């Protein structure tokens, strides 16, 4: 006899629902993109905001474009 149990998706994937990438409304500065991304990745929101500012300054404005795309494409929580 073995202790083998068959794979059950509801047990391992949270009932068929994984994490969702959404803009958060409870911890936002402008539109909630950074706090939503932080909740999705498990990182601190301030760290994501600092990286975004560095992308704006040293990336010739690519951070602004990325933030605007996140604002348009990410649904509100």
Q: Which structural domain range is residue 36 located in?
A: 22-73
Q: Please check whether residue 30 lies inside any domain of the structure.
A: yes
- Number of structural domains (the chain) is 1
Q: Please check whether residue 9 lies inside any domain of the structure.
A: no
Q: Please check whether residue 34 lies inside any domain of the structure.
A: yes
Determine phi and psi for 12, rounding to 5 degrees: -100, -25
pLDDT over 80 at 4, yes or no: no
pLDDT over 70 at 13, yes or no: no
Q: Please check whether residue 8 lies inside any domain of the structure.
A: no
Q: Please check whether residue 69 lies inside any domain of the structure.
A: yes
Q: Please check whether residue 3 lies inside any domain of the structure.
A: no
CB of 73 closer than 8 Å to CB of 31: no
Stated pTM of the model:
0.70
Q: What is the pLDDT of residues 16-68, one digit of tens each?
A: 567 899 999 888 889 999 999 999 999 999 999 999 999 999 998 899 999 99
Q: Report DSSP letters for 12-45, one per residue.
A: HTTTT------B-SSS-SSSSHHHHHHHHHTS-H
């Amino acid at each position: 006899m073995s202790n083998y149990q068959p794979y059950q998706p509801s047990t391992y994937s949270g009932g068929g629902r994984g994490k969702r990438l959404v803009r958060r409304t409870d911890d936002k500065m402008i539109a909630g993109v950074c706090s939503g991304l932080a909740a999705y990745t498990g990182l601190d929101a301030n760290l994501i905001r600092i990286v975004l500012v560095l992308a704006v300054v040293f990336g010739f404005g690519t951070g602004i474009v990325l933030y605007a795309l996140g604002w348009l494409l990410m649904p509100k929580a």
